Amino acid sequence: MNAGLEGRTILQVIPELETGGAERTTLEVAEAVIAVGGRALVVSQGGPMVAELEGFGARHIEMPVASKNPLVLHQNRVRLEKLIRAEGVALVHARSRAPAWSAHAAARAAGVPFITTYHGIYRARSGLKRAYNAIMARGDYVIANSHHTAAAVLAEHSPRPLADPSRLIVIHRGADLRRFSPDKVTVDRVEAIEKAWDGGKKLKILLPGRLTEWKGQHDLIAAAQILRETRQAGDLRIVLAGSDQGRSGYRAALEQAVGAAGLEQVILLPGNCDDMPAALSWADLVISASRRPEAFGRVAIEAQAMARPVIATGHGGAMETVVEGKTGWLYSPGDAAALAERIAAFAALSGPERQAIGAAARENAAENFSVARMTERTLQVYCRALGLGGLGSGGLGCGDAGS
């Protein structure tokens, strides 16, 4: 598939290659381009993921593309146009607003297709901010990471600049099933998590995510207090795994809430976890308690890929990834009592019932939300933009649309 990309050079532009969902997707698409015989270039300000990118054969070019300074934006436009022409770039794909301004102008000047991806939803509290955000809707094709994101794009930028809604294509983010696979996580890795988190025979509940108010950690603390008072779920070990990223005040507030609820022996805040597949394998149940709608929501998919049931807030991307009553459950955002009720219902399930939900969750992730599916669909968009077919009725890629 996508044989039409063989020998073609694809340039992706992203502010930095720090750890994150957009950055990970950039690497995954670059690897897929190389796998079909293309050349993959990535422009960014650099970061720890550069070594991994270059390790599988992609080329990184450092440029100050995270800057919003108008002078730097102009300089980046000139640099990018020179790069496009010098390297014979066939298509430019921008993944963030600041670099998109430079990349859009450079691609137009060089006469090559320009693609954008919305990895999140940009809030516009003024006309000026809306105009700044609108660059992401100016792609020849605009990719949204969920239907929720696509609806927000249409509400903000249609009919201007997104005059043709058919240019807006939903491609859900994918979980790396090679990494997030129950079969790939060794016993010793799970034992290392158990040693650190001490779950024992308790009901083990994991809420992964950076420590910030909108991720809903306070709601899970409140739900745990309800469960302890009503004794509906037995003994619990709850882990709020994530870095505070400098928000020491919020972490302190969480610790204070845990202490005030008398849950010091129940709830653990271990900081960042370096082995998330093992952490998910350790857990009986995974929570995504985001108070604001997630544009997509990586936690829900990676948990399901690890055959773990999910309880998530019923808005945003989770509405597309969690199958109510089959792979997990949804509840109203901020409703700690409803969250407690869902946890209690899960605790009452038998072992075989839990395993059946886990199996359905894994199947859902594998069939609908894999990296392979995401990259194939993205390369199909490239093919269409280059006039090579793609996104046909059979879901086939370049060179296959007419077969």
Local mean pLDDT, 10-residue blocks, the chain (403 residues)? 84 92 94 98 96 97 97 98 98 98 98 97 89 96 96 94 95 93 97 97 95 95 95 91 89 97 96 95 98 93 98 96 97 97 97 97 96 96 92 46 30
217 shares a domain with 292 = yes
199 shares a domain with 335 = yes
Number of domains forming the structure of the chain: 2
Q: Rounded to whole angstroms, how far apart are CA atoms 262 and 257?
A: 9
193 shares a domain with 142 = no
Is residue 244 left, alpha or beta, with left meaning phi > 0 and alpha meaning psi from -120 to 50? alpha
Instruction: Residue 317: give its domain's CATH number.
Output: 3.40.50.2000
In a domain, 274, yes or no: yes
107 shares a domain with 12 = yes
Q: Rounded to whole angstroms, how far apart are CA atoms 366 and 264?
A: 37
DSSP assignments along 198-241, one per residue? --TTSEEEEEES-S-GGG-HHHHHHHHHHHHHHT-S-SEEEEEE
In a domain, 233, yes or no: yes
In a domain, 398, yes or no: no
340 shares a domain with 206 = yes
In a domain, 397, yes or no: no
For residue 105, which phi and psi values (nearest 5 degrees)? -65, -40
pLDDT for position 188: 97
In a domain, 164, yes or no: yes
pLDDT for position 232: 82
pLDDT for position 403: 25
For residue 39, which phi and psi values (nearest 5 degrees)? -105, 135
208 shares a domain with 167 = no
pLDDT for position 234: 85
Q: Rounded to whole angstroms, how far apart are CA atoms 181 and 172?
A: 19
In a domain, 361, yes or no: yes
In a domain, 212, yes or no: yes
pLDDT for position 255: 97
22 shares a domain with 106 = yes
pLDDT for position 179: 92
195 shares a domain with 168 = no
In a domain, 243, yes or no: yes
pLDDT for position 396: 37
167 shares a domain with 208 = no
248 shares a domain with 122 = no
Domain that holds residue 161: 3-174+370-385
For residue 361, which phi and psi values (nearest 5 degrees)? -65, -45
Cα-to-chain-centroid distance, residue 230: 36
